[in-house]
Structure 1
Amino acid sequence: MLSRRLFLKSSALIGCSAAAHPMLSSIAFATAPGENRLVVIILRGAMDGLDVFQPYGDPALRKLRKTLSAGPDVGAHDLDGFFALHPSLAGLMPLWRAGELAFAPAVSTPYRDKRSHFDGQDMLEAGTGTDLEAKRQRDGWLNRLLQGMPGVQSETAYSVGLDDMRILDGAAPAKSWAPQTRFRLSAQGQRLLTHVWHDDPLFRPAGEQAIEIINEGLDKIETEAGPTREAQALARFAAGRLNGETRIATFSISGWDSHARQPQIIDRALQRLSAAILTLRGDLGANWSRTTVLAMTEFGRTVRENGTGGTDHGTGGAMLVAGGNIRGGRAIGGWPGLGEGELYAGRDLMPLRDIRAHAAWALRDLFDIPPDVLERSVFPGLDMGENPRILA
Structure 2
Amino acid sequence: MAGSASTLSRRGFLIRTAALGCSAAASPFLTPVTLAAAPWEHRLVVIILRGAMDGLDVVQPYGDPALAGLRPNLPFGEAGGARDLDGFFALHPVLSPLGGLWDRGELGFIHAVSTPYRDKRSHFDGQDLLEAGTGFDLAASSVRDGWLNRMLQAVPGVQAETAFAIGQDEMLVLKGPAPVDRWAPDARLDLSPQAQRLLERISHDDPLFRDAVAEAFDIAQSLNMAAVDAPVAEDGAPGMMQAMAQAQKGKDHLKVADFAASRLRMDTRIAAFSINGWDTHQNQKATLKAPLETLAETILALRDGLGPVWGQTAVVAMTEFGRTARQNGTNGTDHGTGGAMVLAGGAVRGGRVYTNWPGLRDGDLYKGRDLMPTADVRAYAAAAMQGLFGLDRSVLEGAVFPGLDMAGIGGIIV
Asked if TM exceeds 0.5, the reply is yes
Distance 1:257 1:162, change over 3 A: farther
CA distance in 2, matches of 1:350, 1:364: 26
Query: Are residue 330 (structure 1) and residue 352 (structure 2) matched?
Result: yes
Matches within 5 A, 1:319-358: 319-358=341-380
Contact 2:29-2:253 within 8 A present in 1 as well: no
Structure 1 residues not aligned, in runs of 5+: 11-20, 185-195
Deviation of the 1:340 alpha carbon: 1.8
Distance 1:169-1:262 versus aligned 2 partners, 3 A rule = same
Q: Cα 1:203–1:303, aligned 2, differ >3 Å: closer, same or farther?
A: farther
Give the whole-Å Cα distance in 2 for the aligned partners of 1:121 and 1:206.
Answer: 34
Instruction: Check if 1:47 corresponds to 2:53.
Output: yes
What displacement does 1:73 show?
1.3
Indicate if the aligned counterparts of 1:32 and 1:151 stay in contact, CA closer than 8 A. yes
Question: What's the CA shift for 1:179?
Answer: 3.1
The DSSP-based 3-state class of the residue aligned with 1:365 is: helix
Match for 1:323: what amino acid? Answer: G
Give RMSD over aligned pairs.
Answer: 2.8
- Give, in angstroms, the shift of residue 233 of structure 1: 0.9
Residue in 2 that maps onto 1:100: 106
Instruction: Tell me the equivalent position of 2:202.
Output: none
| AA at the equivalent of 1:340 | D
1:217 aligns with 2:239: no
Among 338, 350, 354, the alignment partner of 1:316 is 338
**1:178 alignment counterpart:** 185
Q: CA deviation at 1:199?
A: 9.3
Offset from partner CA, 1:149-168 (integer Å, 9 cap, x none): 12211335766764641111
In 2 relative to 1, CA 370–23 (structure 1 residues): closer, same or farther, beyond 3 Å?
A: same
* Length-normalised TM-score, structure 2: 0.81
In the alignment, structure 1 residue 389 sits paired with structure 2 residue 411? yes
Q: Is the counterpart of residue 280 in structure 1 residue 305 in structure 2?
A: no
TM-aligned CA distance change 1:176 to 1:31, over 3 Å: closer
Q: CA deviation at 1:207?
A: 5.5
Shift of 1:209: 6.9
CA displacement, residues 17-70 of structure 1 (integer Å, 9 cap, x when unaligned):
xxxx96432210001112100000000000000000000000000100011121
- Cα 1:350–1:344 shift into 2, 3 Å: same
Distance in 1 of aligned mates of 2:306 and 2:165: 21
Count of matched residue positions in the alignment of Structure 1 and Structure 2: 364
User: 2:267 — aligned with what?
Assistant: 245
Identity of aligned residues (%): 53
Q: Identify if the C-alpha distance between structure 1 residues 206 and 75 changes in structure 2 by more than 3 Å, giving closer, same or farther.
A: farther
SS at match of 1:373: helix
Q: Give the TM-score taking structure 1 as reference length.
A: 0.86
Please name the residue that 2:139 is paired with: 133
Match of 1:35 in 2: 41
Larger radius of gyration: 2
Q: Aligned runs of 1:1-392 on 2, under 5 Å?
A: 23-130=29-136, 133-155=139-161, 162=168, 164-171=170-177, 172=179, 175-179=182-186, 181=188, 200=211, 204=215, 208=219, 211-212=222-223, 214=226, 216-222=241-247, 229-392=251-414
Stretches of structure 2 lacking an aligned partner (at least 5 in a row): 1-10, 21-26, 192-206, 228-240
SS at 2:354's partner residue? coil
> How far apart are 1:205 and its partner, in Å?
6.6
> 3-state DSSP class of the match of 1:47?
coil
Q: How far apart are 1:297 and its partner, in Å?
A: 0.3
Q: 8 Å contact 1:88–1:267 — kept in the other structure?
A: yes
Measure the CA separation in 2 of the matches of 1:212 and 1:179.
11
Rounded to whole Å, the distance in 2 between the matches of 1:101 and 1:281 is 11
